[in-house]
Amino acid sequence: MNAKKDNTEEKILEAAKNVFIKKGMEGARMQEIADEAKINKALLHYYFRSKEKLFNAIFNQIIKIAFPRIEQVIYTDVDFRTKVGVVIDSYLDLLIAHPYLPGFIMKEFNRDPSVILKLIAKYGFNIQPVLEVISEAMDRGEIIKMKPEHLVVNIVSMCVFPFAARPAISFVAFRDNKEALDSFFEERREVVKQFVIRAIEER
């Protein structure tokens, strides 16, 4: 009797993911998760003994996809502007697929930073190689000199922040016109690339 069990476990994880993302750990209700999974609370606790255990299962799952694997790109033998383009693409691909990530992670970070810091240490990329590749490009005169950390923070900021602020941007800049907002976000891919390239290219 396993087919049914597997299915239920998946249903619970899917439901919990939706509810936790929308409401956060504290805001989520076990009853709501049970309802969303179309089971009852007793069964929910039968599968995951506590809210904490269920949340951790979800959270690990989410964190694992939250850091795009940019190492491969970084070491490719192409010029720096191409690397920048690929990195921005991989961030935006991730964010378009999971637009809730910035908001969710920031919320949970605020609630208990230590949890996320541990997971960053466990799954998050090591920034050191990235900084080195940037420094080398600077030494070769491909891009202007600046503290590499600033370049990383600038790129990540321009990619991530608009998704966290999406509803505000929608309201303030586009009066909640959905089409205008969607094309704006589509445009950002090229806009951010060009913006960064222009800002750092040596000339």
Partner DNA sequence: GATAAATTTAACTATTTGGTTAAATTTATT
Partner DNA sequence: AATAAATTTAACCAAATAGTTAAATTTATC
68 counts as binding a second copy under rule CB under 8 A:
no
Exactly one of 10, 14, 40, 182 binds DNA (CB under 7 A); that residue is 40
66 counts as binding a second copy under rule CB under 8 A:
no
106 counts as binding a second copy under rule CB under 8 A:
yes
178 counts as binding a second copy under rule CB under 8 A:
no
Binding-site partner at residue 28 among a second copy, DNA, none, CB < 5 to 8 Å by type:
DNA
Amino acid residing at 106: M
Stretch 2-21: interaction string toward DNA, x if CB under 7 A: xxxx-xx-------------
153 counts as binding a second copy under rule CB under 8 A:
yes
Shortest Cβ 174–a second copy spacing (Å): 8
94 counts as binding a second copy under rule CB under 8 A:
no
- Cβ atoms within 10 Å, residue 152: 15
Q: Judge whether 79 and 142 are in contact, CB under 8 Å.
A: yes
Lookup result for tokens 């704006």? 184
d(CA 200, CA 203): 9
Closest CA to 130 of 114, 113, 150: 150
Residues present in the chain in total? 203
